[in-house]
Amino acid sequence: MSYLVDTTTLATLRSDKPWINDPLHFKSTIISPSAIVKMLSHCQSGVEKGIRQGGKPIEVMGLVQGRPDTENPGRIIITDVFPLPIEGFETRVIADDQNVVNYMIALGDSLENSRVEKFCGWYHSHPFDVSAISNCFFSSTDLSTQLSWQRSEDPHGNPWVGFVIDPQRTVHQGSPEIKAFRAFPPEYERPIKDMVPDGTVITTEKSRLENWGSCWSRYYSLDVEYFMSDLAQSVIKSVTENLFWMKNFTENEQGANNKALFEAINENVGKVDTSGKGGNDPENNNASETKKDKRENPNSEHFNNALKPVDDNNSDQTKKNITEIIKQMMFGSLRCDCNEKHD
């Protein structure tokens, strides 16, 4: 595979849009070595940060940059990823001001420099406990997020893909646990009944729910190809070892102090609302609210409202849209109901 691209062929492909009339057009994605390392490190850092603060691993999210493959129809190439300064959508968001500013500058530069590659997908982590079943699946919120992106981006020559990473399992098995998904349009029905996202058939509903969540019939998985150099593997290994060390440390006497600090930080962050849309929603800041309550109140329309098409020819508008999405993600009420299949 080559990372060089014939821009004319790519422009033709983007205007032909063969994915529009075939819900299963895309079969695979290939991720560049630097992109997979950035993505995995980001997800591991969420686990590490959560444990350091004496709480649960933190979910993280980012955007991926790439393009449909002109040489291999049905494949999406991912060349880079951009972690978003958003953490732990299951509880409350912590945004470090300086990091956010730096991020926006970097993002602006990147949009300026890249005419060939675009933001063409998103990733987020499911840092839940390790069990016999992978945590890489789409929750109902994930599915509607993905579908909104596909509806706004696919028709503009920019097919959208969603990645889910299970960082705990990645550590456990010593290799990346990552899956890529695309959503089916609502009117599409799979010809084979009981076929789950990876193309296998599971005949019991209980097992389908355990493996793929309540929306198991509404999305499918793409093969994920990546290459990790020796160096990349050692980076991940060192992140991993650090994580185990932290876990042992915080489970002892430091745990209680860290938890108090974490809660104090959250108290303050709960008061920040720069978007004027829901960051201060008392419903969202109720510490005694159970996870299930939160799931039933996904409040994701703020996020969906931000899903505007990225206009090829107008980089100011593109920047504004991306900025808006990030603002909604950071200060709006994006919720992940990703733990649903385990309840």
Residue with Cβ nearer Zn ion (78 or 336): 336
Q: Which residue is nearest to Zn ion (CB)?
A: 338
Please check whether residue 46 is in contact with residue 87, taking contact to mean a CB–CB distance below 8 angstroms: yes
Q: What is the nearest approach in angstroms of Zn ion to the Cβ of residue 192? A: 26
3-state secondary structure of 28: strand
Closest C-alpha to 29, from 233, 248, 222: 222
Residue with Cβ nearer Zn ion (139 or 211): 139
Residue with Cβ nearer Zn ion (306 or 336): 336
3-state secondary structure of 1: coil
Q: What is the nearest approach in angstroms of Zn ion to the Cβ of residue 137? A: 8
Q: What is the nearest approach in angstroms of Zn ion to the Cβ of residue 148? A: 14
Q: Phi, psi at residue 202, to the nearest 5°? A: -120, 125
Q: What is the nearest approach in angstroms of Zn ion to the Cβ of residue 336? A: 5
Residue with Cβ nearer Zn ion (90 or 312): 90
- ∠ Cα 72 77 82 (to 5°): 175
Give the H/E segment covering residue 111.
helix 97-113
Residues of the shown chain interacting with Zn ion in the complex, contacts defined by CB under 5 A: 139, 142, 336, 338
Q: What is the nearest approach in angstroms of Zn ion to the Cβ of residue 118? A: 23
Q: What are the residues whose beta carbons fall under 8 Å from the beta carbon of 250, sequence distance 6 or more?
A: 51, 52, 54, 258
Bridge-based pairing of strands 60-68 and 75-87 is antiparallel
Residue with Cβ nearer Zn ion (48 or 340): 340
Between CA 338 and CA 70 the distance in angstroms is 34
- Alpha-helix runs per DSSP H in 126-253: 140-153, 167-173, 205-212, 230-250
Residue with Cβ nearer Zn ion (142 or 153): 142
Q: What is the nearest approach in angstroms of Zn ion to the Cβ of residue 126? A: 6
